Structure formats: C-alpha cells, structure tokens
C-alpha cells in the first residue's frame, strides 16, 4: 500500500527494502514535522481506524447455547417431561378437571427454562459488551509527531505516514519502518514466536525474501519494545499489518470464571445430585410405608422437591453482581482486566506499591543544585519555567556560575522529555524527572532548541530501572548565541575532540564511576574526602524525602560502540547533584490508614534511595517504628529462606531492580499472604503475573505491564487500590448475602414439601410451577436488589477473608440451615392452621395450599428487608440507601397478590382466592421470619459479636 498523489492506494510495498528517506517520500511525511492535521484526517477517512477485527470472544449463538449446558436447567427439563407424561396419563384415564389447562406445568417449566436461558444470555452478552468497552479504555496511547509537535494519541488513530516514537515498554501500535534508533530491542514473540528480543537497525542490508523475524529495519504491530528508543514511520495500520494478517486478536480483557463461579458450578452439581438422591429416598421410603397407591403423590412431592432444592436464579445473580462490581470499580478508576480479580481483591493482605507516581504525585520540581563550590536553591512553581536561583537566599545570575551552567546543560542534553504549554498550563511529555530538569535549565536561561543545535546527540546508553542511570554522547557543532553554556562546557572537552558524554542517574552509581570533579572551570582529581562529602550531602538530601540525581561528564576521542556502556561510563568528571521534590499524594496518607484498619499491610517498593524512600514511607505511615528497610543489594545477597524470615517486618524496599519484585512476591506468598503488586515497566511483568493481583499503571505504565496485569489503575493512584479492595469486599459480602437469602429459602421450601405427606392432608402444598415462581421471581428479584447493597460500615475495619475459605464459612452455612428450618416451621405451622381453617370455613378446601405458598413468598420479602445488614436493625437502615430492595419487595408482593386475585393467573398457577382474614394470617406468620432475624441481630450485638449474623 502506498499513497499516490491522488490519494489512491497501490499494491503492497516491501518497506524493508527501501531506504528510510524513500519511505518518508512515498508516504509523503516528514521526520521532524510529521503529518499535518489535514493529512491525518484525510488518511483516517481513507484507511479507517487502526484496529484489528475482534475475532476473540464468543459468538451470540455460543453464549445462548452455553446457557442450556447448565445442569440445573437440564434437570428442570427432565421434570417438565415427567410432568407432561403424568398429564398425558391423566388425560387418557379421564382424570382431567374441566378448568384445567393440559400440560400447563410442562409448558410453564419449559417456558421458564427458556426465559431463564434468555435472561442469562442477555446478562452475559451485556457483561461481554461491558468487558469489551473496558478493553477499549485500556487501548494503548502512542507518542507521535504531528504538526511539528510531539503528541499523544490513541493507537486507533494512527495512520500510514505518522511518525511514531518508540521507547522501552511500549507495544508497537502499527507496522513501521525505522528512521532512528538507540539500542532499540524489540520482542516479537507475538508475531514470530521468538522469545528472544531482536536488536533493530535503521540501515540493514535485506533482500526481498528476508523473513519477518529478520527484517531489522522494521517494527511490527503487537511487538514489545524492551529496551532503547526509536523513531519509526507508520507503513501499515489495522488489518493491513502483519499481525492483522494472522490476527486472531487476543481479548485483552479476559472473562474467566472466578473461583466463586467455579465453586458455584460445583455447588449446583452437588445440589442436583443431592436432590435426585433425596427424591429416590422419598419415593422408595414412601412406597415401602404407604404402598403403590401413594405413587402418584410421591412422584408429585419428588418433582416439587427437585425443583425446590435448585437455586435457579443464583448463577445469573452472581454474574450480574460481578459485572456491576467491575463497573463500580471503573467509576473509582480501577479497571478490572480479569474477572477473578474482583473476588481476590477482597482477600488481599499485602499491597506492594511503587513510590513514584503512585504514593507521590510524580510532579517533580527541582529544589536545589549542588556543585563543588556552592549549593543554589531554585524557586518557582510546578512546571512553569519561571523562577530564580538563590545563593544564601539572594538571587544570583547563573551566567557567572560555570559549574551550575555545566550541570544544568548536562541535565538538558541528557534528556528526552518535552516541555509544552497546553491550554495555558505548562506540562511535561515524557519522564517527569527529566521534565523537572528541563524546567530548571530554562529558569537559568538555557534554551533547549539552541542547545540541541549546538550539540548533536550521536548516541546514548538508555535509562533502565536496573542501570538507574542514562548517558548521551553529544558532539559540539558550533556555539551560536549560547556562549555561556559553551564556555562552561569547554574545560570538559579534549583539545583534539568535540565529543562528550553526559551521564545522570542515581548519585551513588554515578559517583562510583567518577575520578575527577569540575571545580570553577577546571577539572581536578576527586579526592576520597570530597567523595565522602558528596555521599553525605546525598544522604542528607535523601533523608528529607527528596529525589536526588547525580551528574557527570566525560570527554571522548571517538564514538563508543553501542554495547560498551560499562567501559565508557568510567573515569567520569563529577558535575554535581540536583534534588527535586515529589510531594506525597494528599490522599495517600488516609488510604494507608484505611489499609491498616482493614488488616492489610502496605509496603513500598522503589528504585529510589533508601533514605528518600524511608522519609516518605514514614510520612505516609507505611513505615512504622521497628520496621526494616531492605535495599536491592541486600535482596541480591539473601537467600529465599532469609528473605522469608524478614519479609513480614520489611515495609520499605529501596534501590530495587524489577527482578527483585518477583523475589518479594514469592517470599510473601510463601508466608501465605495474598499480594497485590504494582508495576509499570517491561521487567515488572513477571512480578505482576506472579502476584495475586498484578496492578499496572494506566497513565505511566508500559503496555507490556498492562498486558500482564489483573487490574489497571486509570489514575496511577495508591488510594484507588484501596477503593478497589473495598469494592471487592462489598461484592463478596453481597454475593454471600444473597446466597444466604436464596439457599435459606430453598431449604425452607424443601423441608416444608418433604414434611407435607407426614400430615396426610392430601396433596403437595406447592406445585413445581409455584416453586419455580418463588425461586425465580419472589427470590430472584430481591436477590438482584441485594446485589447492589452499599458497603456495610465495617467493611474496611475487619481483616481480609481467607480466599480458600468455603463460601459457607463464617457462619453462612449454619445461618442458611437455621433460617431454612425456621422458615419451614413457620410454613408448616401455618399449613396446619390453614388446613383446619379451609376445612371449617366454606370455600375451596385446597385453600390451605395457596396460604402456604403465600406465606413462604411473603416471609421471603421480610427476609430480604432484614438481611440488608448483618449487624444493623432494619429500622436503623435508610430504606433509600438501596431503594431497589424496598421496590422489589413491594413489586413482588403485588405480583403475588395478582397470582391469587387475577383470574387467568390464578387458573394458570393453580391458586385459590383467599379471604382478607386468610391473607392476614399469611402475613402474620410470614412476619415471624423478619422478627426472628432482627432478634438474632439483637442477640449477637448483646453477645458482643462484631461480625453480625451469618457473617
């Protein structure tokens, strides 16, 4: 595909065979200026969005069919068939009543099975859509040059001809031809299956049939930049890319069943097996005791029991609750990528968080610069490049301080960030640490453009979290108007060469490589004393919580080889220190306190100096008296066992490299902790994968880290993790709440039905149809309303639950059985009263059955109201904090009345009209369950059990 003058597209071009200039020419683009907005708009129309067609996910048919693979529905279908056969036998034997609708139960059950399937389908496809929408939110952003400016755009907006900037951690968003590179290494496993990263080159001698994996001058969509930097021109987008050609796009948001959903599947199977066994026992025992004459009644009882025991509405309610949970989390800036994370979040015991940007604001501001002869402080606000340099409180003219100018020039040239004004505000594109250096240099009157003109960058040894430093090689081209900087730098150069290396990074590591120091325009040997003084000064600044960088330079005879960083960064000339403030996020302190009250230990893991880290950790409450600080080198030396012995006392890990994070997660997990771990870099991916909850940064995080994570923080904020944990706990509590509600009711129904033959009133009180009605409608609607119950006040003041605990743990199982028994006692007592009433007062003698049906339904309404809180009485709750419960209770009660008083419904559901007195009796009995639960709460309060009933 090429763009002709007329904008038409010609057949595929072999971009790897063309020199870079030719590619720029063919795609009518410019390395420095990029495309214009008009060109972009035109090409977006021409080529469409840079998206792969989504071939992942399930088709609609597959989702629908999946609904009917549910064992509970299969059992219901069996019940419908048996019921149909019985109706047929009745018809043949002439036992049909005149107003009876034939095959009513069969048709109704099948209809409900179908409706249930349809409902499940609607819910699941909505959940899939919601996940797809989340996936779009996670879509990567790309830095491009357009209209002569560096801009950040969404990957979908790329067009052929765009100049895209690549750096370690980004996922390449379109196919492209390289224009520039510095130590660029790309992992192309997504395309070639080769796990080893490939070093890319701008100039490569390739032939027509060079395979994809060897086309070193091209980059391809879906591959990951693991090291270095590069600039490439986009050649292909969307389905035209190499990945597009072979694409079966992996869903970036995975809808795996959660452990709870898996356990619920197992539970359904157990319930089905259990209910079939129960049916067998009832039929066999019944036949032994009462003989074959009772067969029909026994079969009816069995069918009703089989239907009653199965919580038909439960899977749907769980799916909806999890989906709603993810939506609530996204509103609080936590994007869930893997559904099981919602549940695991509730049981997190340790949160390991990065410092910079997560606990701090990542808005660096240079506070001071420290050279051999003096220290200067810097005034100003945020990124606005206006401020003064003060010496002992008095403003000075930096032009008279060559040491300061040399230091600031180094900071400006050894820099990849950009300072821009957007909507009237100054902002940084790129690394804020480098941005702060740009701002400081601009305050001293140094001009970025003039400096880059005077010194051309010829190479670099990029920054990595392992190296903790970065160097650039520059060549002095000419002075122009920047005589101050030229004059300050001149003493650093060799007479024979205009090549210079500037290095900046962790002060200890840079200083280690220095042999000289720059003093007032001359280069002197660096004495041991001076070295100690610099280290002390570094420690002093770091212990105030400041981020400190060291700077050095080295004259070069010739340009070093790309892989010679270790040898080249030696014998350096020390230029000085720069300290910058990165204030803690205001909300972080409170979030840390909330963690502690929730039984979760926050831990800081940072690449920064241990004293800086400790000062900030103490300020935020992360480090407490007696806590230990471990550094990267400490971690290198300790065995897994030694680390395991310390890990619970260490609250700060400083100067760590990403691979140490994996060690820390493993040690914590061996101590049975459930670990949430944040990360943003390429090399954080293994730790993120290993952690129970891997958390990537939405703003500063690399695509690779996002890909490996379970959750993405859209605002990079520590407080968001704590909010997500809270939401996770609310979801889990609500799931447990409606499981209690639904299964408690099922147990009550089963006992009532099983007991009914004992009373020999003749007939089963509840037909399968009525039971289905209860399980799906009168239980299902309030259960859905309970799913959105807001957090209980104690949700973040109790310890995390054990993820391996049974869903029935902490009293839930006994609660269900207890409530089931109470409900059945109420229903049976009512059955006895109702039966005698129906026999003594004229009317339909079967009215007692409708009374049992109504009592069970209304009792469940009381249950729904009472179960909203485990600890607080219903009267203490604001009915409007979850208006859905009250609404569903009123609505369901009205539906229940309609079943009794609206004739067609009455005929269909086989109910009988009740008198007002009978209705009142039902209401009176059903209220008893509500009263019982409230009494349980009072009792547990009285006994001083904080957790509440069934919790």
Q: Site residues (CB under 6 A) for ligand ATP?
A: 354-356, 431, 433-434, 463, 465, 468-470, 504-506, 549, 606-608
559 DSSP β-pair partners: none
Residue 278, H or E segment: helix 259-290
552 DSSP β-pair partners: 503, 574
Residues 440 and 411: beta-carbon distance below 8 Å = yes
Residues 688 and 696: beta-carbon distance below 8 Å = yes
Within 10 angstroms of residue 659's Cβ, the number of other Cβ atoms is: 16
Residues 120 and 316: beta-carbon distance below 8 Å = yes
Helix or strand or coil: residue 760?
Answer: coil
Smaller CB distance to ligand ATP: residue 176 or 607?
A: 607
Residues 471 and 499: beta-carbon distance below 8 Å = no
Residue number with the shortest CB distance to ligand ATP?
Answer: 607
Residue with tokens 């995975």: 254
Q: What is the DSSP letter of 775?
A: I
Residues 588 and 718: beta-carbon distance below 8 Å = yes
Smaller CB distance to ligand ATP: residue 108 or 503?
A: 503
**Least distance to ligand ATP, CB of residue 434, Å:** 5
Distance CA 502, CA 487 (A): 16
Smaller CB distance to ligand ATP: residue 608 or 779?
A: 608
Smaller CB distance to ligand ATP: residue 606 or 709?
A: 606
Smaller CB distance to ligand ATP: residue 234 or 622?
A: 622
**Least distance to ligand ATP, CB of residue 155, Å:** 24
Distance CA 549, CA 547 (A): 7
Distance CA 935, CA 951 (A): 16
For 382-412, b where at least 16 C-beta lie within 10 A, e where not — what string? Answer: ebebebbbeeeeeeeebeebbbbbbbbbbbb
**Least distance to ligand ATP, CB of residue 470, Å:** 4
942 alpha-carbon distance from chain centroid: 40
Residues 207 and 230: beta-carbon distance below 8 Å = no
Distance CA 806, CA 813 (A): 9
Smaller CB distance to ligand ATP: residue 504 or 663?
A: 504
**Least distance to ligand ATP, CB of residue 463, Å:** 4
Collect all residues with Cβ–Cβ distance below 8 Å to 1 and sequence separation of at least 6: 9, 10, 11, 12, 13, 160, 235, 236, 240
Collect all residues with Cβ–Cβ distance below 8 Å to 190 and sequence separation of at least 6: 222, 223, 224, 243
Helix intervals (H) in 27-182: 37-47, 60-67, 71-92, 104-137
Q: Where are the beta strands (DSSP E) in 260-374?
A: 334-336, 350-354, 365-370
**Closest by Cα among 564, 590, 907 to 718:** 590
**Least distance to ligand ATP, CB of residue 691, Å:** 15
**Least distance to ligand ATP, CB of residue 658, Å:** 8
Residue with tokens 């890909």: 707
Helix intervals (H) in 291-389: 295-309, 314-331, 340-345
- Active-site residue, from 354, 431, 680, 779: 354
Using CB atoms within 10 A of its CB, is residue 867 exposed (0-12), middle (13-18) or buried (19+)? buried
Smaller CB distance to ligand ATP: residue 606 or 830?
A: 606
Alpha-carbon separation of residue 801 from 82, 344, 728, 780 (angstroms) = 44, 10, 11, 26
Alpha-carbon separation of residue 65 from 120, 478, 686, 946 (angstroms) = 10, 73, 37, 45
Smaller CB distance to ligand ATP: residue 463 or 909?
A: 463
Tokens in use for 655? 């100067």
Smaller CB distance to ligand ATP: residue 355 or 849?
A: 355
Distance CA 569, CA 471 (A): 8
Smaller CB distance to ligand ATP: residue 39 or 433?
A: 433
Smaller CB distance to ligand ATP: residue 463 or 835?
A: 463
Distance CA 943, CA 701 (A): 50
**Strand pairing of 149-154 and 522-525?**
unpaired
Smaller CB distance to ligand ATP: residue 144 or 548?
A: 548
Q: What angle do CA 255, 257, 260 make, to 5 degrees?
A: 140
Helix or strand or coil: residue 770?
Answer: helix
710 is catalytic: no
Distance CA 101, CA 61 (A): 33
Residue 572, H or E segment: strand 572-581
Q: How many H-runs (helices) and E-runs (strands) does the chain carry? A: 33, 30
**Least distance to ligand ATP, CB of residue 444, Å:** 19
**Least distance to ligand ATP, CB of residue 549, Å:** 5
**Least distance to ligand ATP, CB of residue 114, Å:** 54
Smaller CB distance to ligand ATP: residue 579 or 918?
A: 579
Residue with tokens 């695991």: 344
Q: Which residues are catalytic?
A: 354
């Amino acid at each position: 595909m090429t763009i002709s003058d007329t904008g038409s597209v010609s057949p595929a071009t072999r971009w790897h065979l063309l020199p870079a200039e030719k590619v720029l020419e063919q795609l009518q683009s410019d390395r420095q200026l990029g495309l214009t907005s008009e060109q972009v708009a035109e090409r977006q129309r021409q080529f469409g969005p840079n998206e792969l067609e989504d071939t992942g996910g399930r088709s609609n048919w597959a989702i629908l069919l999946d609904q009917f693979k549910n064992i509970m529905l299969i059992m219901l279908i069996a019940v419908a068939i048996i019921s149909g056969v019985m109706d047929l036998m009745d018809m043949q034997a002439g036992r049909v009543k005149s107003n009876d609708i034939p095959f009513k139960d069969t048709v109704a059950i099948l209809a409900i099975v179908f409706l249930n399937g349809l409902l499940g389908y609607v819910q699941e496809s909505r959940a899939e859509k919601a996940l797809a929408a989340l996936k779009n939110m996670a879509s990567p952003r790309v830095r491009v040059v357009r209209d002569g400016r560096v801009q950040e755009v969404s990957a979908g907006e790329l067009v052929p001809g765009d100049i895209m900037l690549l750096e370690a951690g980004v996922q390449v968003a379109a196919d492209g031809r390289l224009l520039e590179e510095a130590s660029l290494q790309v992992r192309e496993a997504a395309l070639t299956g080769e796990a080893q990263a490939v070093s890319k080159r701008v100039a490569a001698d390739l032939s027509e049939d060079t395979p994809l994996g060897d086309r070193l001058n091209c980059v391809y969509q879906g591959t990951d930049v693991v090291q270095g930097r590069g600039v490439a021109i986009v050649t292909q987008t969307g389905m035209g890319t190499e990945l597009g050609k072979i694409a079966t796009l992996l869903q970036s948001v995975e809808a795996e069943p959660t452990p709870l959903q898996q356990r619920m599947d197992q539970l359904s199977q157990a319930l089905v097996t259990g209910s079939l066994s129960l049916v067998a026992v009832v039929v066999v025992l019944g036949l032994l005791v009462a003989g074959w004459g009772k067969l029909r009644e026994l079969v009816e009882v069995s069918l009703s029991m089989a239907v009653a025991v199965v919580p038909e509405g439960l899977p749907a309610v769980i799916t909806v609750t999890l989906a709603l949970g993810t939506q609530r989390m996204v509103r609080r800036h936590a994007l869930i990528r893997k559904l099981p994370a919602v549940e695991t979040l509730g049981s997190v015991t340790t949160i390991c968080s990065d410092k910079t940007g997560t606990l701090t604001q990542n808005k660096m501001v240079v506070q001071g610069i420290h050279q051999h002869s003096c220290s200067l402080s810097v005034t100003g606000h945020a990124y606005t490049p206006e401020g003064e340099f003060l010496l002992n409180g008095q403003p000075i003219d930096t032009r008279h301080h060559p040491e300061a100018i040399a230091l600031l020039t180094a900071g400006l040239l050894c820099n990849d960030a950009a300072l821009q004004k957007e909507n009237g505000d100054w902002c940084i594109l790129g690394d804020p640490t480098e941005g702060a250096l740009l701002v400081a240099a601009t305050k001293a009157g140094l001009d970025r453009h003039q400096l880059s003109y005077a010194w051309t960058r010829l190479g670099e040894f990029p920054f990595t979290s392992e190296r903790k430093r970065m160097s650039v090689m520059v060549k002095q081209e000419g002075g122009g108007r920047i005589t101050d900087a030229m004059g300050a730098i001149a003493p650093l150069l060799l007479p024979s060469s205009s090549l210079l290396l500037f290095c900046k990074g962790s002060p200890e590591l840079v200083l280690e490589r220095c042999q000289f120091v720059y003093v007032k325009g001359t280069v002197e040997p660096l004495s041991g004393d001076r070295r100690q003084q610099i280290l002390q000064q570094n420690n002093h600044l770091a212990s105030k919580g400041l981020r400190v960088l060291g700077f050095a330079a080295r004259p070069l005879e010739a340009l070093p080889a790309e892989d010679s960083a270790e040898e080249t960064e030696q014998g350096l000339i020390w230029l000085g220190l720069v300290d910058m403030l990165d204030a803690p996020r205001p909300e972080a302190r409170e979030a840390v306190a909330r963690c502690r009250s929730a039984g979760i230990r926050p831990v800081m893991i940072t690449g920064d100096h241990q004293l800086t880290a400790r000062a900030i950790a103490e300020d935020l409450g992360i480090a407490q008296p007696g806590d230990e600080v471990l550094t990267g080198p400490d971690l290198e030396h300790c065995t897994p066992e030694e680390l395991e012995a310390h890990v619970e006392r260490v609250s700060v890990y400083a100067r760590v490299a990403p691979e140490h994070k994996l060690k820390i997660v493993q040690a914590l997990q061996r101590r049975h902790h459930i670990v949430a771990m944040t990360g943003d870099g390429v090399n954080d991916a293994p730790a993120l994968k290993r952690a129970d909850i891997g958390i990537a940064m939405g703003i500063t995080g690399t695509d690779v880290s996002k890909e490996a994570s379970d959750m993405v923080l859209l605002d990079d904020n520590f407080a968001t993790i704590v909010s997500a944990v809270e939401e996770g706990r609310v979801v889990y509590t609500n799931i447990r709440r409606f499981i209690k509600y639904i299964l408690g009711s099922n147990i009550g129904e089963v006992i009532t039905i099983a007991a009914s033959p004992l009373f020999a009133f003749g007939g089963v009180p509840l037909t399968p149809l009525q039971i289905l009605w209860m399980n799906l409608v009168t239980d299902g609607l309030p259960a859905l309303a309970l799913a959105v119950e807001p957090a209980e006040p104690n949700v973040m003041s109790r310890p995390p639950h054990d993820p391996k605990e049974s869903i029935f743990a902490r009293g839930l199982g006994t609660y269900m059985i207890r409530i089931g028994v109470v409900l059945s006692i109420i229903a049976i007592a009512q059955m006895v009263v109702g039966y005698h009433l129906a026999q003594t007062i004229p009317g339909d003698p079967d009215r007692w059955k409708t009374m049992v049906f109504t009592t069970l339904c209304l009792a469940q309404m009381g249950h729904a109201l009472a179960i909203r809180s485990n600890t607080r009485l219903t009267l203490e709750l604001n009915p409007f904090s979850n208006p859905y419960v009250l609404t569903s209770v009123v609505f369901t009660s009205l539906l229940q009345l309609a079943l009794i008083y609206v004739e067609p419904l009455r005929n269909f559901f086989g109910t009988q009209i009740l008198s007002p007195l009978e209705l009142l009796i039902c209401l009176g009995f059903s209220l008893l369950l509500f009263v019982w639960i409230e009494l349980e709460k009072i009792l547990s309060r009285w006994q001083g059990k904080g957790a509440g009933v069934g919790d």
